Structure 1
Amino acid sequence: MLMRQPCPSLQFAYSPPFGATLQDTGVQFSVFSRSATAMRLLLYNKVSDREPAEVIDFDRDKDRWGDVWSLTVPNLDAGQLYHFQASGPWDPDNGQRFDSTARLIDPYAQALAGEFQKSTDGVIRPPKCVVIDDKFDWEGDRHLRHDMSETVIYEMHVKGFTKSRTAKLKTGGSYLGVIDKIPYLKSLGITAVELMPINEFPINDIYGNKIATPNYWGYDSMAFFSPHRGYAHDKTPGAQVVEFKQMVKALHAAGIEVILDVVFNHTCEGNEQGPTLSFKGLENQVYYILSEGKHYCNYSGCGNTVNGNHPVVREMIFHCLRHWVHNYHIDGFRFDLASILSRDRKGNLVPNPPMVELIAEDPLLADTKIIAEAWDAAGAYQVGSFGNHRWAEWNGRFRDDVRGFWRGDGGTLGALATRLAGSSDLYEHDGRPPFCSINFVTSHDGFTMNDLVSYKEKHNLANGEDNRDGDNHNISDNYGAEGPTRKKGINTIRTRQIKNMMSTLMLSQGVPMMVSGDEIQRTQKGNNNAYCQDNELNYFDWRLVNKNADMHRFVQSLIKFRLAQPTVRRKTYLTGQPVDGRNVPDVSWYSAAGTPLDWGQQDLAMVAYIAAPARQDDIEGLGRDLVLMFNSTGQDREFLLPEIGRGAQWNLFLDTAADSPNDIFPDIDGPMPKDGRHIEMPCHSMKVYVGE
């Protein structure tokens, strides 16, 4: 009898065809370069070595196969340190920038070690590549495959989450530090962490000096296949690979998926004035989009643009995604400035770009969530039109419309209703479901939720750019005082507004994403572009968990409610038509007086009646009818329960104007309306009632 055996290549590891591949007899080194006239392998004994212990020349006749240089060096093992070095034409006017003295990072390197070393001879000595043994005991771990409609995303920075001294961890700021704080994440109720870039990026400058404005966020890619060495607790070369896998396995054990923020739009090599570290010294005109064959196109706003739709680069990106999915068990990706993937090899936006379509259709990525930041720094804005149904998008329209409504901006009533109902105006026309909309009010880029209601203007002087950096369009308010204040009335409104926006986020159709620390009112002191602040300004302050325990409880209860109520996480759009088996529309809209809503009114007061889905084929759990009441005006109001809801029993779930613990009732056992009809709605407040 034949026994079925698991497929080793998929169960244990995915082996890209390039880079350093560990073999029984040594290590095979393979690198692409079409135009190089010579290739060398530099081998080092120690991280601190300034010069290689051995230089091995590739034989042009024996070690070159097409445009691939490949050789096997016997008696090498995991942990070996190396660089490539290539000779070729120096012809910038025709896109060629070979430098025979440059030590080059392998584009497929699976780990880096060390820092840029001090230089007195003008030679850049970047971190060294490390040969990795990919064996790891996953103990049966697999992708969690949470349904997108049942996902709550928590955007966080690996270092910032535990680096603060308030975390009280010996492993603070590392992958292991995240493991130590998993009980907190689990208790909050989120289902996925979206990690800001963990791919390798520079720590010091190219000559080993401390960077005046460090790229703390990590959007400055240096090696796409490598987990960042700076987040490893153990500083042994390659230790970051093991620690990262330990973190993923531990998060999975807690039921939490891991989504990576990946930056395939530019690299840290910059423009014509930037250093030669990897791509430039191997095949510059292939890896980057060039104008007139020589100038770097800057669609990323960071000096260069990766040529993602060139076949060679496209292949590299695919190998990279598969590497993270199958070697690290990553559950999904958020593509930074993803519209760049829609640009052809000349930088033109094209319909049905092959890169975007292939990512969606790749069978080895079929279990993953794929999310686009559907714009770039050169004016492309594709929110609502990026890719097919496999692609979800950061919904920037949701962010702006929710902020505008709760700030009291005129003409935002219809916009809020559309976002609350799943943004069908953006996604339905392409047959994409509501969960293609990643709803968010705040992210790493911009104000925190606390600062959104505390500052009218950005305060970025600490960044060293005279407050010129950062977005000026924040749709924020301070409600009477710029920054912290002791005035009770102002703080009351601010707290209320945070609860309003957080409630709108968690109760809207689509997929909610919150940024780490918003649940405890973390502040960046008005800095809306804290990319370079590697300090307490960016770190998660664990003292706030207790100080702002009421807000933490509020958010925790919202997440629990969302995951228990299919009414707010449908897989199809609300239509305003009766639901199956009931003579009740799936959604209906009313004025504060309980009459049908006039969408042309300027009054920012509204009631939404959302009926529970009657059909349970594709939805787990039994939903309940909801009445959501919004008063974004500056006056206290009296609302009337619409006729459609009278005669039923309604329990209060949340009241953003009430003090804790009466602001939210996790067991949905809050008081019913006093006479079944009249409901007091303080200014800037929201209430939600749940039917029996």
Structure 2
Amino acid sequence: MLFLPFIGHAGVNTKGLGASYTDNKQTIEFKIYSENATRIELYLYAQASGADEIERHLLTKNSENIWSISLSVQNLDSRLTSTVYYGYRAWGANWPYQEDWQKGTSVGFISDVDAQGNRFNPNKLLLDPYAKEMSHDYITPQWNDGTVYASGSQYRNIDSAPYAPKGIILTDDAQSYGVKPTRALKDDIIYEVHLRGLTKNDLSIPEQYRGTYKGAALKAAYLADLGITAIEFLPVQETQNDTNDIVESTDGDNYWGYMTLNYFAPDRRYASDQSDGGPTREFKAMVKAFHDHGIKVLVDVVYNHTGEGGAWFAGDSSTYNLYSWRGLDNPTYYSLTSDRQHNWDNTGVGGNYNTYHPVAQDLIIDSLDYWINDLGVDGFRFDLASVLGNTCQHGCFNFDKMDAQNALNRIINEFTERPEWGGYGTDFIAEPWAIGGNSYQVGGFPAGWSEWNGSYRDTLRKDQNQMGLESISLGQLANIFTGSASLYQDDGRKPWNSVNFIVAHDGFTLKDLYSCNSKHNTQAWPFGPSDGGESNNHSWDQGWYNQASAQRQAARNGFALLMLSAGTPMMTGGDEYLRSIQCNNNPYNLDSVANWLNFSWDSAQSNFNIFVKRMLQFRKNHPALRPADFYQSIDTNGNGMEQLRWFMPNGNVANASYFNDTNNHAIAYRIDSSEFSEPTAAIYIAYNGWSDTVNFTLPWPGVGKNWYRVTDTSSWNEGPETIKSPGQEDFIGGEYTSYGLNGRAVLVLIAK
């Protein structure tokens, strides 16, 4: 069982919140939480926008601060017999109810925010945080005036209901999400990609399905053939993106999707089936398509902040958006400053979700449960996950992994983490940083959590691209190649808890990392303009000599090392063919061909795609590259089991002084494959970080064995056969054979 029902710290049972049909669809139950509201009314609509409510009902509050009402379907207005759209209006201490209040008036108003942080405003129709689908975004091509949702003296009396999105009540459906893969995370190869961008520019997909869940489902076979075992989608929960295509402009566009409007609803924009319930059914069908190809579906979730944003004007505490959580119970759902007048902000995009409040945590838990058990998702990547480790609600921020009551530990305690060797469970991956305070926590998460290893990314980038500017020792490289024991071993975690990556959606592509000296985000549409973006990228265009070839070689080096490293590798969509965004490293707002994948490749891209596919297959074929625990080696007294041994180029065993001298840039290691129950006796990997050729003396390949070359990433070895298929490897020789490895190249040999 993946989910255990939870009664929160405050004794509140939030299971069953939302709106649902009961009694064979004879009754609709509405339940919503608010501790601080003094009155909540339910408004029912026959259409999503542009019309008055059909009915309104007063909810009653119980001792757990849950407001509810049950309505007989038979007694509803006949105009509500098909789809029922709904929303809420709430009153509280800063705006108490008065009988003569009418929509669009200020009757009862005291303040936009009071000393306790309440921001109730009955003129704003509020979306149910537990709604399973949303009718539309807050801003649409038909309505682009966001002022209707704001508080403050200019906007507080505007009735938002004609324009606001409504919740949609879904009936149960029989759509299957297939059989979930049980593969261990250590055996996964993750492909991070934007759902719309995966197929929006793919001419092999029928036009009406491009950029949709159904279109993505049609790419399952391609990804399985590539060698991918887990697809990680950028956020697919509802976000503000309906207006992205109005004009060829980036003004206000939200392509990546990190401004969540609802934690349950699959984004309607990504559905080819726009009927009510269509996005949910189509999402589940997509999950099944991936499951049928043995591919896990992971989704990027954003529980650290919401799409309601922050203050409209700096220093002004009155003007904020009231979409959902803020208008229902601001101090419950958001971390506030000590005076409760503003949001506390560790995210840089409007304010922290109150992850330490038990009821706000319940929403996270209930949302995860829904995506796992109802929609079939296999795992999650948590955006700015340090905020989930916060242990202070208002006036401060403090990450503490030891606090059993924080959201990080609740998630691990209440769900089943996938077992080390595979089986039923869920994969939990953190982006282990936020902004400010003690939020940078790479290696600092509690047991049960895997992490995006930012240290892996930075160490490898610096070594490849900034020799002479950054001092990277071979010891640092050895650490990241073998699972980053320095970060994870002391917590009882394993190499596979390190999600290794060189590039992600946030930053340069693999091609641009090795082709751009600096970001170029100010260019014209469709490749910009995009504001922000990291300025210190550890990137390099590889110099002037034979530049294009050198850039491809550098990309082969980086990708090969990623796939040869212990840990869980993650690549980014399009890196399999060297996708470029022309040096834009923050294309969050580009819903354009710049961000959409392109499957029409030139010969160099096709060759790199072959290299990627065979490199993925090599990793899969060799369990020694996917250890469940950290590699063992013989200690200084000759005790223990040797699974891995490090060598200097001259063939001698590398010692501490060699590892720690930052003037050394060539290292090799031999993995004893026989320790991992595979037929290959040994794997030998050499990395030459120098610009000139280095001669490596090969070690013992095993009794009766010789070394055979799988790949040498040197520039002389370009083309479709840069990496050999199994059984086609090149004979090299036995022990003491000298191999001249060109500058900035990786060599992979197997013993057979």
Give the TM-score, by structure 1 length.
Answer: 0.91
Q: Flag the 1:229–1:545 CA change in 2: closer, same or farther, 3 A.
A: farther
Equivalent position of 1:87 in the other structure: 91
Q: 2:327: which partner in 1?
A: 281
- Contact 1:458 1:526 (8 Å CA) reproduced: yes
1:658-688, CA deviations, whole angstroms, 9 ceiling, x for partnerless residues? 1223310121532122676111211111110
Q: CA deviation at 1:146?
A: 0.9
Residue of structure 1 in register with 2:744 after alignment? 684
Q: CA deviation at 1:167?
A: 4.7
Unaligned runs of 5+ in 1: 1-5, 482-486
SS, match of residue 265 in structure 2: strand
Residue 17 (structure 2) aligns with: 18
- The DSSP-based 3-state class of the residue aligned with 2:263 is strand
Per the alignment, do residues 558 and 131 of structure 1 end up closer, same or farther by CA in structure 2, a change over 3 Å counting?
Answer: same
Alpha-carbon spacing, 1:362–1:463, altered in 2? closer, same or farther (3 Å): farther
* Distance in 2 between residues matched to 1:166 and 1:264, nearest whole Å: 35
Deviation string, structure 1 residues 279-305 (Cα, Å, up to 9, x no partner):
111000110001112221001111110
Name the counterpart of 1:142. Answer: 179
Q: Distance in 2 between matches of 1:467 and 1:155?
A: 21
Deviation at 1:524, TM superposition (A): 0.8
Per the TM alignment, residue 114 of structure 1 is displaced from its structure 2 partner at its CA by: 2.4
Q: % of aligned pairs identical? A: 30
**Deviation, structure 1 residue 82:** 1.1
Question: Which residue, out of 303, 322, 325, partners 2:350?
Answer: 303
For the pair 1:596 / 2:657, whether they are aligned, the reply is no
What's the CA shift for 1:187?
A: 0.5
Residue 615 (structure 1) shift? 5.7
Aligned equivalents of 2:72, 2:583: Cα separation in 1: 57
Q: CA RMSD in A?
A: 2.7
In structure 1, the partner of 2:457 is: 399
**Which residue identity lines up with residue 479 of structure 1 in the other structure?**
Q
CA 114–332 in structure 1, closer or farther in 2 if over 3 Å, else same = same
Secondary structure at the residue paired with 1:356? Answer: helix
Partner Cα distance (2:581, 2:263) in 1 = 29
Tell me if structure 2 keeps the 8 A contact 1:213–1:463: no
1:419 Cα deviation after fit: 0.6
Cα distance in 2 for partners of 1:510, 1:638 equals: 29
Residue 415 (structure 1) aligned with residue 461 (structure 2): no
Partner Cα distance (1:649, 1:468) in 2: 54
Shift of 1:205: 7.3
Where in structure 2 are the equivalents of 1:375-524 lying within 5 Å?
A: 375-379=433-437, 380-388=439-447, 390-407=448-465, 409=467, 410-462=471-523, 469-480=532-543, 489-524=546-581
Equivalent pair of 1:656/1:686 in contact (CA under 8 Å) = yes
Q: Secondary structure at the match of 1:455?
A: coil
Distance 2:531 2:610 in 1: 37
CA change 1:205–1:85 in 2 (3 A) is farther
Instruction: Note closer, same or farther for the CA distance 1:228–1:462 as it changes in structure 2 (3 Å cut).
Output: farther
Segments ≥4 residues shifted beyond 6 Å: 6-10, 208-211, 463-467, 581-584, 644-647
Give the SS at the match of 2:458: helix
Partner SS, residue 370 of structure 1:
strand
Residues in 2 aligned to 1:66 and 1:641: alpha-carbon distance in whole angstroms: 70
Deviation string for 1:167-193 (max 9, x for gaps)? 543200000000111111110111100
Distance 1:78 1:319, change over 3 A: farther
Which SS does the other structure have where 1:295 is aligned? coil
Determine helix, strand or coil for the equivalent of 1:585: coil
CA distance in 2, matches of 1:533, 1:79: 34
Q: Pick from 64, 68, 71: which aligns with 2:69?
A: 71
CA contact (8 A) 2:175 2:281 kept: no
Report matched runs for 1:225-236 at 5 Å. Answer: 225-236=264-275
Q: Classify 1:7/1:589 alpha carbon distance in 2 versus 1 (closer, same or farther; 3 Å).
A: closer
1:401 partner letter:
T
Which stretch shifts more, 498-507 or 347-356? Answer: 347-356
In the TM superposition, residue 612 of structure 1 has moved relative to its aligned partner by 1.4
Give the corresponding residue for 1:350. 400
- Cα separation, 2, equivalents of 1:167 and 1:396: 35
- What amino acid does structure 2 have at the position aligned with 1:374? P
* Map of 2:152 onto structure 1: none
3-state SS in 2 of match to 1:635: coil
1:610 maps to amino acid: I
Secondary structure of the equivalent of 1:251?
helix
| Kept after mapping to 2: 8 A contact 1:590/1:608 | yes
8 Å CA contact 1:470, 1:529 repeated in 2 = yes
Per-residue displacement from partner, 1:39-65 (whole Å, max 9, x unpaired)? 11121112243432222222x4xx645
- Contact 1:370–1:391 (8 Å) recurs in 2: yes
- Pairs aligned (count): 665
Q: Where does residue 329 of structure 1 map in the other structure?
A: 376
SS at match of 1:281: helix
Give the direction of change, closer, same or farther, for the CA distance of 1:672–1:644 in structure 2 (3 Å limit).
closer
2:427 matched residue in structure 1: 369
In structure 2, distance between residues paired with 1:463 and 1:43: 45
Going from structure 1 to structure 2, the CA distance change for 1:77 and 1:227 (only over 3 Å counts) comes to farther
Change (3 A) 1:369 1:237: same
Contact 2:695–2:739 under 8 Å retained in 1: yes
Q: Residues 77 and 362 from structure 1, CA distance in 2 versus in 1: closer, same or farther, beyond 3 angstroms?
A: farther
CA 81–467 in structure 1, closer or farther in 2 if over 3 Å, else same: closer
Q: Say if 2:258 is the partner of 1:198.
A: no
Report what 1:39 is aligned to: 40
Contact 1:463 1:530 in 2 (8 A): no
Distance change (3 Å), C-alpha of 1:675 and 1:87: closer
Change (3 A) 1:308 1:224: same
Q: Is the 8 A contact 1:22 1:78 kept in 2?
A: no
- The amino acid across from 1:46 in the alignment is Q
After the TM superposition, which residues 609-620 of structure 1 pair with which residues of structure 2 at under 5 Å, given as runs?
Answer: 609-614=670-675, 616=677
**Do the aligned partners of 1:201 and 1:220 also contact (CA within 8 Å) in 2?**
yes
Alignment TM-score, normalising by the size of structure 2: 0.84
Report the Cα offset of residue 652 of structure 1.
Answer: 0.6
**For residue 573 of structure 1, what is the aligned residue in structure 2?**
630
The 3 A distance-change label for structure 1 pair 588 and 334 is: same
Residues 364 and 553 of structure 1: CA distance in aligned 2, closer, same or farther (over 3 Å): same
Distance change in 2, residues 1:333/1:534 (3 Å): same
* Aligned residue number for residue 176 of structure 1: 214
Paired residue type of 1:412: S
Q: Which amino acid aligns with 1:361?
A: N
Once the two structures are TM-superposed, the CA of residue 588 in structure 1 deviates from its matched residue by 1.3
Match of residue 484 from structure 1: none
CA distance in 1, matches of 2:664, 2:702: 22
Contact 1:251 1:257 in 2 (8 A): yes
Aligned to 1:648: 705
Gaps of 5+ in 2: 6-13, 74-79, 95-112, 149-157, 313-319, 419-424
- Matches of 1:253 and 1:605, distance apart in 2: 43
In the alignment, the residues of structure 2 paired with residue 80 and residue 463 of structure 1 have an alpha-carbon distance, to the nearest angstrom, of 44
Q: Residue 196 of structure 1 contacts residue 260 of structure 1 at CA under 8 Å; is this kept in 2? A: yes
Letter in 2 for 1:19: G
* Contact 2:384–2:434 (CA under 8 A) maintained in structure 1: yes
Preserved contact between residue 296 and residue 303 of structure 1 (Cα < 8 Å): yes
Question: Does structure 1 conserve the Cα–Cα contact (< 8 Å) formed by 2:530 and 2:584?
Answer: no
CA–CA separation in structure 2 for the residues paired with 1:545 and 1:78: 52
Letter in 2 for 1:690: I
Alignment partners' CA distance in 2, 1:365 and 1:68: 31
The residue matched to 2:709 in structure 1 has which SS?
A: strand
The change in CA–CA distance for 1:564 and 1:263 in structure 2 (over 3 A counts) is same
Change (3 A) 1:64 1:411: closer
